Amino acid sequence: MKQTSTSIGQPYKNPNGDLQCDAVGHLGDYVIRKTADHTWIAIQLFGAIGSIAATAPTPEDAFNQAEDWHYANGIQKRLTMSLAIEGVETFDLELALNEVLKLVSEGYTSGSDRNETGSYKFSIDAID
């Protein structure tokens, strides 16, 4: 029988200025973030089943879609992330890391970028 949780916190602005809220699901914690198109995306925070993303018009709908995905697909493989960051100053490293975190929270599994003061490259893979 499907268990549901309605433990969804109040929306707040994260350090990047994005609106998000936190939630607790059946197998772990979620972050639910408002995207540029004003929908909400729910991403499980690297719990027992890895990252699940769902997009919906409300935080509750995104959370419920992500939980429904779990029940439809069962336990998934864990994830690993490879990350390389270079910079001239520690501030450059911090900016790159924040950008990677933003991309991961939006559901990207790889990415890279570079400019005159630094670069980053990351990829997320499933592991056995």
Looking at the structure of the chain, the number of domains it has is 2
35 and 64 share one domain? yes
**What's the pLDDT at 1?**
34
User: What's the predicted TM-score (pTM) here?
Assistant: 0.49
- Please name the amino acid found at residue 38: H
More confident residue, 48 or 13: 13
Residue 89 — very low, low, confident or very high, per pLDDT cuts 50/70/90?
A: very high
60 and 91 share one domain? no
